[in-house]
Copies of this chain bind each other. A is one copy, B any other.
């Protein structure tokens, strides 16, 4: 059989929330940024815009990454909890029900701070919960970075269709979980969640560590708010689907969790924070090392999304310039396909995700080049790939590697 003259590996770079709307002098943060490396890739590659879910639909980071990796979110996604839980290191199994959690401050039934004064070390609090809480089903509770945590329920007769306990805004009362549908499993799951919530408050409220925080004028972490209930889906491993040995390099539990749930090798990076101060250079070094024994590397860089949520145009723009500069150290050659894209737009004007399409570029052997030599939202819209959907991305890449299965003969 003749050898196939195609690239062998893919570096898939997701600039989380990087896409935007024209805001300052008619420019987006990406247009205002200096991204000579991306522009170089654009000049040699092909560009397009992508509806990660569908036109006008703002994706979550979870559904977006699933879609980009070829998992139809409509089929596998019930909530964010499972991916967060996997990301913080809980050994999740298909059918488990999982939640994202926040350590928070409760006073007279009202949530006075959803992050317990941005508490940082919650290990001891979590240990107490693990030791002393008891439910009529198996559960795993694990703390994550900052005020974050995850809860997993395991057993027969559980359901993710229950409402969150997190009121989502400070100054509101903590909410009882209620079944969204009226079946027995939802009712039972809501009961467990409410029991857990009550027990956690009893366990935490009088702990010395919280007494000490109060003495220091800090807010006590005396509750855990839960949201993002979801059932852990069965995801056919990415390598089984594609034949590509894959790694994920990311800072946020969510993306790490999606990587883990799809069977990717998670490579941690020291100093990767998910903020604009993250150690991007360390991530690039890890990508270059991972290229030696992986075929597909998912690199998520979170900072631009955060700047978008903060509504900070200048921070977003200068972060993108910085990322471009650091990513120019990626080891790319004839054997590598590089994708630069975003999982969604997070316009600084909205401070939230939007359904605007994201720009993408594909660089590497076999790519049909176009006339475009700048990586911006409007330039990408003129690119030779036109407009595709997030779910199209994996087949397009597999095809560039000469590995996409033919339909027909």
Write the residues of chain A forming the contact surface with B, with a CB cutoff of 8 angstroms: 1-2, 4-6, 21-22, 26, 28, 49, 53-64, 73, 77, 79-80, 169, 228, 311, 347, 349-356, 366-371, 377-378, 381-382, 384-389, 392, 394-399, 402, 404-409
Copies per complex of this chain: 2
Complex Cα distance A386/B57, Å? Answer: 16
Residues of B within 8 A of A371 (CB): 378, 382
CB distance from A28 to the nearest CB of B (A): 8
- Could you tell me if B61 and A408 are in contact, using CB atoms closer than 8 angstroms? yes
Assess the A366–B347 pair: CB atoms within 8 A: yes
Cβ 8 A contact of A404, one of B22, B58, B385, B408: B58
**Are B408 and A349 touching (Cβ within 8 A)?**
no
B58 touches A351 (CB 8 A): no
Cβ contact within 8 Å between B77 and A228: no
Measured in the bound complex, the distance between the Cα atoms of B394 and A295 in whole Å is 40
Q: Who on chain B is nearest to A62 by CB?
A: B408
Contact between B386 and A381, CB atoms less than 8 A apart: yes
Q: Can you spell out 16 A-B residue pairs with CB atoms less than 8 angstroms apart?
A: A4-B352, A5-B349, A21-B366, A49-B386, A53-B407, A55-B388, A55-B392, A56-B392, A56-B399, A61-B408, A63-B407, A73-B407, A79-B409, A352-B406, A368-B377, A370-B381
Which of B350, B355, B368, B405 is within 8 Å of A21, CB to CB? B368
**Beta-carbon contact of A356 and B395 below 8 Å:** no
- A contact face: mostly helix, strand, loop, or mixed: loop
Tell me how far the C-beta of A91 lies from the nearest C-beta in chain B, rounded to whole angstroms.
Answer: 22
Asked if A368 and B22 make an inter-chain contact with CB atoms under 8 angstroms apart, the answer reads yes
User: Smallest distance from the beta carbon of A31 to chain B beta carbons, Å?
Assistant: 10
Distance to closest chain B CB from A63 (angstroms)? 3
In the bound complex, how far is the Cα of B21 from the Cα of A386, in angstroms?
17
| Complex CA distance for A73 and B406, rounded to whole angstroms | 13
Chain B residue numbers with a CB within 8 Å of A59 are 406-408
| CB pair A60 B408 closer than 8 Å | yes
Q: For the complex formed, measure the closest distance between the CB of A397 and the CB atoms of chain B, giving whole angstroms.
A: 7
Query: Which residues on B sit within 8 Å (CB–CB) of A389?
Result: 55
Cross-chain contact A350 with B387 (CB below 8 angstroms): no
Q: Is A64 a contact partner of B408 (Cβ separation < 8 A)?
A: yes
Partner of A355, one of B49, B64, B311, B399: B399
Most buried by B among A60, A351, A369, A381: A381
Contact of A369 among B26, B395, B398, B409 (CB under 8 A): B26
With the chains together, A387 CA to B385 CA distance in Å? 8
> What is the bound-complex CA distance between A406 and B350, given in angstroms?
13
User: Nearest residue in B to A408 (C-beta to C-beta)?
Assistant: B60
Q: Cβ of B409 and Cβ of A228 under 8 Å apart?
A: yes
The 6 tightest CB contacts between A and B, nearest first, are: A60-B408, A56-B395, A63-B408, A355-B399, A56-B396, A55-B392
Q: Decide yes or no: A370 and B378 within 8 Å by CB, A392-B55, A407-B59 being known contacts.
A: yes
